[in-house]
Amino acid sequence: MIRAISACILLLVATPALALEDADYAAAVVSTAKGTIIPGYQAFGYTAKDMQARLEALCKAPADDTLKNAQQQFAALTTAWARIQYISFGPIFEHQRAFRIEYWPDKRNVVGRQLAEVLKKQEHAALEPERFATTTVGVQGLPALERMLFGDDAISELKGAGAAFRCGLFAAISNNLETIARDVVTGWTEGDSAFLARIEHPSEDDEELPSGRDAAGRLLNDLLTATIAMRDMKLLAPLGTSLAKAKGQNAEYWRSGQSVAVLAANLDGWRALFGTDQGLGGLLAAQPNGKPVADDVSAAADQAAKALAEITLPLDKAVADSAQRKRVEAFAVQLVKLRDLLAGPVTTTLNLPVGFNALDGD
């Protein structure tokens, strides 16, 4: 999802406004990586491990309480992922890792079809970790897990003839998610070509990250992408063109009722990734005339969080409710303000190359 968005970004080179050193850019990104990105992947991995234990308990004793415990852990897992969902550089995009964690949006019901086929075949050998990691992306991650945990027959399915395979699939998915998180952290931190080291010590021979400025541009580009994706994909798609044409089932995680919580985690993650004292936010505030811009970003993020908190129904229901729909639209407006600050004053002040996304609806 994120790579598809990022591929649509139109490169706009900001007019140089100051003379930042390459080391300044690198330091800002390194600070963000150490303080937010790497810990974010670690937290996702820990939460996936806890998910394994909850699913095992559910399979041993399928009942309302064990199902509820597993569903609560699923909510924790989706929000842990949402905080780092829009990072599009580094080891996360090797081996289709991001898509394997969450194949969404799923306009052609790929997850539903692939999950049904796997459950029908009940091929236990296909659940072996190495083989499962190379199977179709639709059954490897969070959307498949959501369908199994939040279906009307979630408990009865664990008491029937196919229960053993279903439990094996639970284990395969949760183990797969933990493994992906661990591999991403390893890619950031270990070995001669660790991604963090490449940012700390950039080289012109590195085609992907030849300079600290390039790394900072990638991070700012991802922050811009996040504002656009939250608005266009997570809000406008379920809103539809009118109240009568609302499409609630286009909302992310509508089955589990996690759409609003995930958006809140997206926004929390966005703020952490932008930074204040450190990161791009700190770098921005330290520049001549940069403090007012940094304050504007902080205020806009506050307003966005306030608008989101006004949405008190699950998103799939909110878009079909006349009063709540207005609150969803108000949140979308705040995301546009954040987007425009990044693409304008922030980009210019930091002299970084980013641009608007072709998926932007304006």
SS (H, E, C) the chain: CHHHHHCCECCECCCCCCCCCHHHHHHHHHHHHHHHHHHHHHHHHHHHHHHHHHHHHHHHCCCHHHHHHHHHHHHHHHHHHHCCCCCCCCHHHHHHHHHHHCCCCCCCCHHHHHHHHHHHHCCHHHHCHHHHCCCCHHHCCHHHHHHHHHCCCCCHHHCCCCHHHHHHHHHHHHHHHHHHHHHHHHHHHCCCCCHHHHHHCCCCCCCCCCCHHHHHHHHHHHHHHHHHHHHHHHHHHHHCCCCCCCCHHHCCCCCCCCHHHHHHHHHHHHHHHHCCCCHHHHHHHCCCCHHHHHHHHHHHHHHHHHHHHCCCCCHHHHCCCHHHHHHHHHHHHHHHHHHHHHHHHHHHHHCCCECCECCCCC
**What own/partner pairs with CB < 8 Å and gap ≥ 24 does 121-129 have?**
122/162, 122/165, 124/165, 124/168, 127/165, 127/168, 127/169, 127/171, 127/172, 129/172, 129/175, 129/176, 129/179
| Contact criterion met (CB below 8 Å) for 29 and 196 | no
When pLDDT is averaged across residues 307-323 and rounded to a whole number, the result is 98
> Using 50, 70 and 90 to split pLDDT, how confident is the model at 10?
very low
> Using 50, 70 and 90 to split pLDDT, how confident is the model at 286?
very high
Tell me: pLDDT of 33 over 50.
yes
d(CA 175, CA 141): 10
d(CA 252, CA 230): 10
- pLDDT for 358: 35
- pLDDT for 82: 98
> Using 50, 70 and 90 to split pLDDT, how confident is the model at 6?
very low
Q: What is the CATH number of domain 29-200?
A: 1.20.1420.20
When pLDDT is averaged across residues 309-326 and rounded to a whole number, the result is 98
d(CA 274, CA 295): 12
Tell me: pLDDT of 8 over 60.
no
- What percent of the chain shows pLDDT beyond 90? 91
When pLDDT is averaged across residues 257-282 and rounded to a whole number, the result is 97
When pLDDT is averaged across residues 155-175 and rounded to a whole number, the result is 97
Tell me: pLDDT of 165 over 60.
yes
Distances from the Cα of 98 to the Cα of 94, 177, 345, angstroms: 8, 10, 30
109 contacts: CB under 8 Å, gap ≥ 6:
none
For residue 242 the two structure tokens come to: 């009118």
Q: Considering the entire predicted model, what is its pTM? A: 0.93
d(CA 217, CA 36): 17
d(CA 288, CA 297): 16
- pLDDT for 12: 40
Q: What is the mean pLDDT of the chain?
A: 93
d(CA 154, CA 51): 16
Better-predicted residue by pLDDT, 354 or 61: 61
- pLDDT for 360: 41
When pLDDT is averaged across residues 39-57 and rounded to a whole number, the result is 98
Where are the domains positioned within the chain? 2-21+213-350, 29-200
Could you tell me which of 119, 129, 117, 126 has the C-alpha nearest to residue 174? 129
Tell me: pLDDT of 11 over 80.
no
When pLDDT is averaged across residues 70-87 and rounded to a whole number, the result is 98
| Contact criterion met (CB below 8 Å) for 43 and 36 | no
When pLDDT is averaged across residues 78-90 and rounded to a whole number, the result is 97
d(CA 108, CA 94): 24
- pLDDT for 355: 56
- pLDDT for 354: 76
- pLDDT for 357: 47
> Using 50, 70 and 90 to split pLDDT, how confident is the model at 19?
confident
User: Any idea what the Cα angle at residue 161 is, between residues 159 and 162, rounded to 5°?
Assistant: 90
